[in-house]
Amino acid sequence: MIELRGVNKHFGDLHVLQDIELTVGRGEVVVVIGPSGSGKSTLCRAINRLEPIERGTILIDGEPLPEEGKGLARLRAEVGMVFQSFNLFAHKTVLQNVSLAQIKVRGRAKAEADAKSRALLERVGLEAHAGKYPAQLSGGQQQRVAIARALAMEPKALLFDEPTSALDPEMINEVLDVMRQLAHEGMTMIVVTHEMGFARASANRVVFMADGRIVEDRAPEDFFSAPESERARDFLSKIL
């Protein structure tokens, strides 16, 4: 579903993605972990073409990333992204936030989009909040709206970049519950997270990044019980 071959990128002198090889199959859940600055966000952004790459190829469902225009908008709809900072439109209601791209990118009629939005809001437990503005919701609720908005495009895959890092502890689980449910239903997901419980329970693989490289790519039970690299052992000793 998602395939990266020999992907490289620099920011000035910093080689932020080095020869990245990564394949994520349909229905797989891959958790990406690693120290701050190791390139995890850049990797997610590259997959969605929010960051240009210098060398290598990225295939989504067997197709190379389109450069620009309509193809790119469609790609971004097919690979949904959920950010740490929610990125909701502050001046639009919850319902409008979930409906907008369905109308603009998918070309759905407003009534059809709103009906789909309401069904998705119900799925993330927010049907009663459709008429509110983001500022009237908690962080956990806002992040669930962001997930509903991504799902509204019927994506082939979802990328999550530290979706719970900005949340108060008591709100983390309500977001992880939605993500666990999606994983269970067979959604293809790449999840950058420090939530090791989620990684153990829901990931098919854990990818450990350090200094722009994928250092380990293994089943969670193997990774957590016996990390192969010194970098991963050191990282795990700090967070577990």
In angstroms, give the least distance from the CB of 184 to Mg ion.
26
Nearer to Mg ion, 1 or 192 (CB): 192
Given ligand ADP, Mg ion, none, residue 36, with its beta carbon under 5 to 8 Å by kind, binds ligand ADP
Q: Could you list the residues that contact ligand ADP (CB under 6 A)?
A: 11, 14, 16, 34, 36-42
Residue pair 182/158 in contact by the 8 Å Cβ criterion = yes
φ, ψ of residue 213 to 5 degrees: the values are: -120, 150
In angstroms, give the least distance from the CB of 151 to ligand ADP.
24
Nearer to ligand ADP, 105 or 165 (CB): 165
Nearer to Mg ion, 40 or 144 (CB): 40
User: Is position 48 an interface residue for Mg ion (rule: CB under 5 A)?
Assistant: no
Q: Report the 10 Å Cβ neighbour count for 12.
A: 6
Given ligand ADP, Mg ion, none, residue 102, with its beta carbon under 5 to 8 Å by kind, binds none
Tokens of 71: 């193809």
In angstroms, give the least distance from the CB of 51 to ligand ADP.
8
3-state secondary structure the chain: CEEEEEEEEEECCEEEEEEEEEEECCCCEEEEECCCCCCHHHHHHHHCCCCCCCEEEEEECCEECCCCHHHHHHHHHHEEEECCCCCCCCCCCHHHHHHHHHHHCCCCCHHHHHHHHHHHHHHCCCHHHCCCCHHHCCHHHHHHHHHHHHHCCCCCEEEEECCCCCCCHHHHHHHHHHHHHHHHCCCEEEEECCCHHHHHHHCCEEEEEECCEEEEEECHHHHHHCCCCHHHHHHHHHHC
Nearer to ligand ADP, 14 or 115 (CB): 14
In angstroms, give the least distance from the CB of 81 to Mg ion.
12
φ, ψ of residue 93 to 5 degrees: the values are: -70, 170
CA dihedral sign, ordered 102, 85, 23, 8: positive
In angstroms, give the least distance from the CB of 200 to ligand ADP.
21
Nearer to ligand ADP, 41 or 143 (CB): 41
Given ligand ADP, Mg ion, none, residue 144, with its beta carbon under 5 to 8 Å by kind, binds none
* Binding residue for Mg ion, selected from 38, 41, 102, 164, defined by CB under 5 A: 41
In angstroms, give the least distance from the CB of 16 to ligand ADP.
4
Candidates 41-49, 75-83, 130-138, 149-157: pick the segment binding Mg ion (CB under 5 A): 41-49
Nearer to Mg ion, 130 or 207 (CB): 207
Given Mg ion, ligand ADP, none, residue 227, with its beta carbon under 5 to 8 Å by kind, binds none
Q: Which residues bind Mg ion (CB under 5 A)?
A: 40-41
